[in-house]
Amino acid sequence: MGKLGNETAKAELGRAAWKLFHTTMARFPDKPSVDESKALKDYIHLFARLYPCGECASHFQQILKKYPPQVSSRSSAAAWACFVHNEVNISKGKPVFDCANIGDWYDCGCAEEEKESMAKHGSQSER
Ligand code: FAD
């Protein structure tokens, strides 16, 4: 890649990453255990630290310092993720996304039972 980078690849990476990020929040339990909340918080911090675009990673880490992850429930995590994505949108001069219906926006395509079993599996693996 040249010195100017590749804006198209960066934007594609961004769209894919945001999709995963928001879908992860949409699948997070409504009533998470302490361990599940900790896992999400760790995941968010590692996502920010390891994000492949270095400039984006340091920008996002600054945003996390200002607006720490909200991991007490699915709705608070989803609303928080929408808010911090808007912080990135604003910094790039993009329109602000309406977070009011964020709960219906991201669908993993998986069955409800699978979501439940994922939550259970998480607590089983603690034993
Ligand atoms: P994107 O912002 O990628 O959004 C994809 C889709 O998500 C939109 O089409 C819309 O349907 C939906 N969406 C938009 N806003 C929200 C929201 N608030 N909540 C939920 N869904 C929403 N690029 C840079 O140039 N500089 C940076 O510093 C930078 N930092 C980034 C940090 C992170 C953590 C990530 C994941 C990406 C970053 N990017 C950065 C990439 C940038 O945010 C965009 O992904 C990229 O510019 C493509 O933009 P887009 O307009 O296609 O939509």
Domain boundaries, given as residue ranges, for the chain: 14-124
Q: How far is CA 2 from CA 6, 13, 57, 78, 109, in A?
A: 8, 17, 19, 36, 38
pLDDT tens sequence for the chain (127 residues): 445 679 999 999 999 999 999 999 999 999 999 999 999 999 999 999 999 999 999 999 999 999 999 999 999 999 999 999 999 999 999 999 999 989 888 999 987 666 555 555 554 333 2
Q: Is the CB of 60 under 6 A from ligand 1?
A: yes
What's residue 88's pLDDT? 98
Q: How far is the C-alpha of 79 from the C-alpha of 6, rounded, in Å? A: 31
CA nearest 74: which of 42, 111, 104?
A: 104
**To 10 degrees, the CA torsion angle through 5, 11, 12, 16?**
130
Please tell me the distance between residue 75's alpha carbon and the centre of ligand 1 in angstroms: 20
Q: Quick check: 102 and 19 in contact, CB under 8 A?
A: no
Q: Is the CB of 57 under 6 A from ligand 1?
A: no
Please tell me the distance between residue 52's alpha carbon and the centre of ligand 1 in angstroms: 14
Q: How far is the C-alpha of 73 from the C-alpha of 70, rounded, in Å? A: 8
Q: Quick check: 22 and 83 in contact, CB under 8 A?
A: no
Q: Is the CB of 85 under 6 A from ligand 1?
A: yes
Which residue owns the Cα nearest ligand 1 atom 14? Answer: 97
Q: Which is the closest atom of ligand 1 to the Cα of 86?
A: 18
Q: CATH number for the 14-124 domain, one of 3.40.50.12780, 3.40.50.2020, 1.20.120.310, 1.10.10.10?
A: 1.20.120.310
Q: Is the CB of 88 under 6 A from ligand 1?
A: yes
Helix ranges (DSSP H) in the chain: 7-27, 34-50, 54-66, 74-91, 102-105, 112-124
Please tell me the distance between residue 89's alpha carbon and the centre of ligand 1 in angstroms: 6
What's residue 5's pLDDT? 78
